C-alpha cells in the first residue's frame, strides 16, 4: 500500500514526543522529547532497560495511545500531534500503513490462525493481492499445518508467528514490532527476523523493540531509550547495551 509514498524520504517521523504516566506525586515523564526518523529500507532496533518506555513509545508511534506533546507522521500523514486526525481516519491509516506485532498477540479467539491473518485483507481499502500474500506468509512461517486451529489451540510461538503474518499481510509502510522473537526458538526466531529484514529490504520501515542480540544484529541502527530519550548505540558499546537491556 506504500508505492505512492516511496518518493517521500521518511516513512516515520517523530518529533518531541512526551508521555507522562501517573498523576500528582506519582507522575512520571516516561518519554521526554523523543525524536526519530526512519527511512524506507531501514530496520531500527530499540533497546533499553525494563520499564524505560519502549512499549509506550511503540504505542505512540502507531497512534494507539495519545502523546502529551510532540508529533508523529507515518508515510507523510499525521498520526499524533496537533494535526492528528480523528479515531476513524486514524484507524483506516493504521489498517493500511502500519503493521503491529505485539508482545501479546491480540489474535481474535473466535477465528482460526489463517482467518486471523487474512482478516485485514477483507476490510475496506485492502488491496486484492494481499490474500495471496497472507497464504504465502503462513507457508513461509511454517504454519500451514496449524492454520485451521484457533488461538487457544496454538503454542505461544505459533500465535506470535500468526500475529507477524497478520502484521505484514497488508504490506504496510511501517512495521512496529515489540519483542518479535521473544517466545521463539532459534529457528523460528531467524525466520521472523528474515521477514522483518525482508520487509525493510523492500523499502518498508521497521521499528523493533528487543533485548536480544540476534535481533539487534540484523538492524541497521540500534537506539537505546534512556531517561525518556533515544540515544544511538555505537557498535563498540552495542553488546554491552544490548545485554544490559533486558
- Between residues 56 and 96, which has the closer beta carbon with respect to ligand ATP? 56
Give the residue, chosen from 11, 12, 17, 30, that forms a contact with ligand ATP under the rule CB under 6 A: 30
Task: Give the relative orientation of helices 156-168 and 186-201 as an angle to the nearest 10 degrees.
Answer: 10
**x/- letters, 3..22, toward ligand ATP (CB under 6 A):** ------------------xx
- Min CB(61)–ligand ATP separation in Å: 12
Helix axes 130-140, 186-201, angle to 10 degrees: 150
Stretch that binds ligand ATP, among 52-60, 72-80, 82-90, 112-120 (CB under 6 A): 52-60
Taking CB under 6 A as the binding criterion, the range among 51-59, 126-134, 144-152, 188-196 that sits at the site for ligand ATP is 51-59
**Using CB under 6 A, which of the segments 48-56, 141-149, 185-193, 230-238 binds ligand ATP?**
48-56
* In the complex, least distance from residue 31 CB atom to ligand ATP, rounded to whole angstroms: 9
Question: What angle is formed at CA 21 by the lines to CA 74 and CA 159, rounded to 5 degrees?
Answer: 60
Position 48 contacts ligand ATP (CB under 6 A):
yes
Give 25 or 88: the residue with its C-beta nearer to ligand ATP. Answer: 25
Q: Scanning residues 93 to 152, which ones bind ligand ATP (CB under 6 A)?
A: none
Task: Name 136's Cβ contacts closer than 8 Å, sequence gap at least 6.
Answer: none
Q: Which stretch binds ligand ATP (CB under 6 A): 46-54, 142-150, 160-168, 215-223?
A: 46-54
Residue closer to ligand ATP, measured from CB, 83 or 243: 243
Q: 3-class DSSP state for residue 52?
A: coil
Nearest Cα neighbor of 107 from 147, 163, 64 is: 163
Task: Dump the DSSP string for 75-143.
Answer: TTEEEESTT---HHHHHHHHHHHEEEE-SS----TTS-HHHHHHGGGGSTT--TTHHHHHHHHHHHTT-
List 55, 71, 183, 191, residue binding ligand ATP (CB under 6 A): 55
Report the alpha-carbon distance of residue 203 to residue 205 in Å, rounded.
7
Q: Give least dist CB 224 to ligand ATP, A.
A: 11
Q: Which residue has the cell 516515520?
A: 12
Among 34, 44, 45, 52, binds ligand ATP (CB under 6 A): 52
Say which residues have a Cβ less than 8 Å from residue 113's Cβ, sequence separation at least 6: 107, 138, 143, 146, 147, 148, 149, 150, 151, 154, 158, 162
Residues of the shown chain interacting with ligand ATP in the complex, contacts defined by CB under 6 A: 21-22, 30, 48, 50-56
Amino acid at each position: 500500500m506504500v508505492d505512492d509514498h516511496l518518493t517521500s524520504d521518511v516513512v516515520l517521523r517523530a518529533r518531541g514526543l512526551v508521555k507522562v504516566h501517573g498523576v500528582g506525586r506519582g507522575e512520571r515523564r516516561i518519554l521526554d522529547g523523543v525524536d526519530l526518523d526512519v527511512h524506507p529500507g531501514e530496520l531500527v532496533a530499540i533497546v533499553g532497560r525494563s520499564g524505560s518506555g519502549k512499549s509506550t513509545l511503540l504505542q505512540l508511534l502507531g497512534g494507539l495511545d495519545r502523546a502529551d506533546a510532540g508529533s508523529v507522521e507515518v508515510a507523510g500523514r499525521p498520526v499524533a500531534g496537533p494535526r492528528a486526525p480523528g479515531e476513524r481516519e486514524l484507524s483506516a491509516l493504521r489498517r493500511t500503513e502500519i503493521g503491529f506485532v505485539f508482545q501479546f498477540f491480540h489474535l481474535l479467539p473466535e477465528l482460526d490462525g489463517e482467518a486471523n491473518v487474512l482478516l485485514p485483507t477483507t476490510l475496506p481499502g485492502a488491496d486484492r493481492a494481499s490474500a495471496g500474500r497472507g497464504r504465502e506468509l503462513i507457508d513461509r512461517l511454517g504454519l500451514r499445518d496449524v492454520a485451521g486451529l484457533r488461538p487457544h489451540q496454538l503454542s505461544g510461538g505459533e500465535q506470535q508467528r500468526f500475529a507477524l503474518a497478520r502484521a505484514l499481510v497488508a504490506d504496510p509502510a511501517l512495521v512496529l514490532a515489540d519483542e518479535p522473537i521473544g517466545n521463539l526458538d532459534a529457528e523460528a526466531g531467524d525466520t521472523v527476523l528474515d521477514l522483518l529484514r525482508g520487509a525493510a529490504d523492500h523499502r518498508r520501515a521497521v521499528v523493533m523493540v528487543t533485548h536480544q542480540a540476534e535481533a539487534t544484529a540484523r538492524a541497521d541502527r540500534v537506539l537505546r531509550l534512556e531517561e525518556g530519550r533515544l540515544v544511538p548505540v555505537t557498535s563498540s558499546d552495542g553488546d554491552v547495551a544490548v545485554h544490559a537491556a533486558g
